């Protein structure tokens, strides 16, 4: 919701905003773009994006939270430009049980690409099985995946 405030030129009050580190970082990023940000009563934040001055969030802030990528649509809509550093947040992938609600080629490919670097095994259920998805899996298991792991090598 805080990133969505960039879509509107003016002041917006948002309620039930938790006082946690990621929220504080996002508010600092909005301030760095020129927005006026203030906290009101418990859980209320007011964001005024009228004085938006920049299109490039502070890399030190953006690299601390994944949510910084959500600044992109508002910046593009308001200024026609958005330059974002790599978003931060959790940097470690762990294997998981993944059930895809829809047998989607793109969702399967993204899940497989992320799983290649996971520290543990990932099991994907309801995955797409088109020939090009199978080709990607073979390529990753024989081609680049061994190189992506420390001490790995390609054959």
Task: Tell me the residue range of the domain where 50 lies.
Answer: 3-79
For the chain, 155 residues long, the average pLDDT of each consecutive 10-residue run is: 92 92 94 94 93 89 87 90 76 82 90 84 94 90 57 35
- pLDDT, residue 143, reads 61
- Residue 6 burial by Cβ neighbours in a 10 Å radius (0-12, 13-18, 19+): buried
- On whether residue 54 sits in a domain, the answer given is yes
Q: Could you tell me how far CA 85 lies from the centroid of its own chain? A: 11
Q: Do 69 and 11 reside in the same domain of the chain?
A: yes
Q: Which of 79, 111, 128 is the last residue of a domain?
A: 79
Q: Do 19 and 63 reside in the same domain of the chain?
A: yes
Please tell me which residue in 48, 56, 58, 90 is annotated as part of the active site. Answer: 90
- pLDDT, residue 115, reads 85
Q: Has 101 been annotated as catalytic?
A: no
pTM exceeds 0.85: no
- pLDDT, residue 113, reads 86
- pLDDT, residue 89, reads 67
- On whether residue 89 sits in a domain, the answer given is no
- pLDDT, residue 14, reads 93
What is the tally of structural domains in the chain? 2
Q: Do 66 and 126 reside in the same domain of the chain?
A: no
Q: Do 56 and 108 reside in the same domain of the chain?
A: no
Q: What is the CATH number of the domain that holds 69?
A: 3.65.10.10
- On whether residue 133 sits in a domain, the answer given is yes
- On whether residue 35 sits in a domain, the answer given is yes
Six-digit token pair at 83? 């330059």
Instruction: Return the H-helix or E-strand segment holding 39.
Output: strand 36-39
DSSP code, position 108: H
- On whether residue 27 sits in a domain, the answer given is yes
For the chain, the residue count is 155
């Amino acid at each position: 919701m805080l990133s969505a405030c960039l879509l509107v030129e003016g002041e917006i009050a948002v309620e039930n905003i938790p006082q946690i580190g990621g929220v504080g970082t996002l508010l600092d990023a909005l301030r760095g773009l020129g927005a006026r940000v203030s906290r009101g009563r418990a859980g209320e934040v007011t964001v005024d994006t009228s004085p938006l001055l920049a299109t490039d969030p502070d890399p030190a802030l953006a690299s601390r939270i994944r949510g910084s990528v959500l600044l992109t649509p508002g910046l593009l809509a308001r200024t026609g430009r958005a330059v974002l550093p790599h978003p931060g947040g959790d940097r470690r992938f762990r294997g998981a049980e993944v059930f895809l609600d829809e047998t989607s080629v793109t969702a399967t490919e993204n899940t497989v690409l992320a799983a290649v670097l996971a520290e543990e095994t990932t099991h994907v259920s309801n995955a797409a099985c088109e020939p090009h998805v199978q080709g990607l899996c073979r390529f990753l298991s024989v081609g680049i995946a061994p190189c992506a792991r420390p001490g790995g090598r390609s054959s």
